[in-house]
């Protein structure tokens, strides 16, 4: 079921992460001590603002990682990894990382919490030219915890759990079968292992692998149940608020293209307005009236391949594949520095399904998805 070369990615990530952890601190450790914002390409007061910080004004949220002087311009849509504020006489690598790379990290992507709990609903879904319908209930847990290991690098440790509960009508999957596809639960669960390192003040390289099991877990887990979704990405700062992104990724979203290049950009057009594109995965335009509130319009393609089982004694298994392309309108709200929520509603505009109950001789229920509504709600936590 799986592309075995993906295991090479796992090994490469672990070796590279170990090397990053043992690397000596860069020369910026000493050079940054005398001037806040030494790593900024603009050389303005922007560079002294906090690492991954949202704007902090009267009536808005104070950033957990801000080192900025009062009145310095900030991004209203930045990602917050909750690096704590430092005293002026502090000489930790966290302070120097913030001074050299804080503005870069603040602008390269929009706010995204460290821990997310998400629920999704896809009601009354149908596959083109197949009888019957199904409802899909999704529930996800995602955690990414960055840990600095030098003034130019960090490790990412985390975990994920994604569940898909399919509730099918009696006719679903009966076009070429005596019985249809019954209710099913598909699960993906595993670890997140990665690292990021600045090759210079305007170039960040990141690599991450997410080893885990992708299965219905109805039987003993076999090696076919495991997979290693992974990616490597360069983020290059071309202008103060414009970042190119180029890399590659491996996952099972597209049946005939497990390995694909990644190409995109992140652009804060003006404070409070940004555009993020990473083809072939996602595109989003967001408006931030304040540091605590964002309105999003976008689209993304999501999916995976799962290994399903019947009885162990019969040794019957099959691979099923799910994929949805969705368009959405969303709202992001930061209630406090530590708690946020996001709500989305939209349409499934396309997709591809290939389902089986795992038994021998069962004809796959497959085809493109018909358009349908979907909704999603998530809660985010930061430390």
Q: What is the pLDDT of residue 252?
A: 93
The rounded distance, in Å, linking the Cα atoms of 21 and 13 is: 12
- pTM for the complete prediction? 0.78
Provide the pairing of β-strand 372-381 with 339-355. Answer: antiparallel
162 pLDDT band, cuts 50/70/90, is very high
**Are the C-beta atoms of 85 and 102 separated by less than 8 Å?**
no
The rounded distance, in Å, linking the Cα atoms of 230 and 7 is: 10
Q: Which residue has the tokens 């597209």?
A: 254
Q: Where are the beta strands (DSSP E) in the chain?
A: 115-125, 134-150, 153-168, 184-200, 203-209, 212-215, 226-227, 230-239, 242-250, 259-270, 273-279, 282-290, 293-309, 317-334, 339-355, 365-368, 372-381
Buried b / exposed e over 28-51, threshold 16 CB at 10 Å, is bbeebeeebbbbbeeeeebbbbbb
Count CB neighbours of 103 within 10 A: 31
Q: What is the pLDDT of residue 38?
A: 34
Count CB neighbours of 248 within 10 A: 14
CATH number corresponding to 6-15+108-381: 2.40.128
Q: pLDDT of 236-281, one tens digit each?
A: 999 999 999 999 999 999 988 999 999 999 999 999 999 999 999 9
If one compares 140 and 363, the residue with the highest pLDDT of the two is 140
Q: Where are the domains of the chain?
A: 6-15+108-381, 16-107
The rounded distance, in Å, linking the Cα atoms of 317 and 297 is: 40
Mean pLDDT of the chain: 81
**How many helices and strands (H and E) does the chain possess?**
3, 17
Q: pLDDT of 75-111, one tens digit each?
A: 556 655 444 444 556 678 889 999 999 999 999 999 9
Q: pLDDT of 99-155, one tens digit each?
A: 999 999 999 999 999 999 999 999 999 999 899 999 999 999 999 999 999 999 999
Q: Name the maximum alpha-carbon separation found in the chain.
A: 76
The helix/strand/coil state of 34 is helix
The rounded distance, in Å, linking the Cα atoms of 197 and 23 is: 10
339 pLDDT band, cuts 50/70/90, is very high
């Amino acid at each position: 079921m799986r592309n075995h070369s993906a295991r090479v990615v796992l090994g490469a990530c672990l070796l590279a992460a170990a090397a990053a952890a043992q690397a000596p601190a860069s020369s910026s450790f000493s050079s940054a001590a005398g001037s806040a914002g030494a790593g900024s390409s603009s050389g303005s007061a922007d560079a002294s603002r906090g690492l991954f910080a949202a704007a902090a004004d009267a009536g808005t949220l104070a950033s957990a990682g801000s080192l900025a002087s009062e009145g310095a311009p900030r991004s209203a849509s930045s990602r917050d990894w909750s690096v704590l504020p430092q005293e002026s006489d502090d000489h930790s690598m966290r302070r120097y990382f913030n001074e050299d790379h804080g503005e870069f990290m603040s602008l390269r992507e929009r706010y995204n919490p460290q821990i997310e709990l998400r629920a999704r609903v896809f009601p009354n879904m149908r596959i083109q030219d197949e009888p019957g319908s199904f409802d899909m209930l999704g529930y996800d847990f995602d955690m990414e915890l960055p840990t600095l290991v030098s003034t130019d690098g960090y490790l990412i440790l985390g975990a994920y759990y994604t569940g898909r509960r399919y509730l099918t009508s009696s006719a679903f999957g009966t076009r070429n079968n005596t019985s249809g596809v019954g209710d099913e639960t598909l699960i993906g669960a595993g670890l997140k292992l990665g690292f990021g390192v600045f090759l210079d003040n305007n170039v960040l390289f990141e690599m991450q692998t997410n080893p885990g099991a992708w299965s219905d877990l109805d039987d003993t887990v076999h090696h076919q149940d495991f997979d290693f979704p992974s990616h490597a990405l360069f983020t290059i700062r071309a202008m103060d608020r414009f970042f190119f992104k180029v890399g590659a990724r491996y996952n099972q979203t597209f049946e005939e293209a497990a390995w694909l290049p990644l190409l995109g950009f992140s652009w804060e057009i003006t404070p409070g307005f940004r555009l993020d594109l990473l083809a072939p995965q996602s595109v989003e335009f967001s408006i931030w009236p304040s540091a605590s509130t964002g309105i999003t319009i976008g689209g993304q393609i999501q999916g995976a391949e799962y290994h399903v089982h019947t009885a162990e004694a019969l040794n019957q298994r099959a691979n099923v594949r799910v994929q949805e392309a969705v368009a959405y309108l969303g709202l992001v709200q930061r209630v406090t520095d530590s708690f946020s929520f996001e709500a989305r509603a939209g349409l499934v505009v396309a997709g591809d399904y290939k389902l089986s109950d795992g038994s021998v001789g069962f004809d796959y229920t497959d085809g493109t998805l018909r358009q349908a509504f979907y909704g999603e709600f998530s809660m985010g936590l930061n430390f």
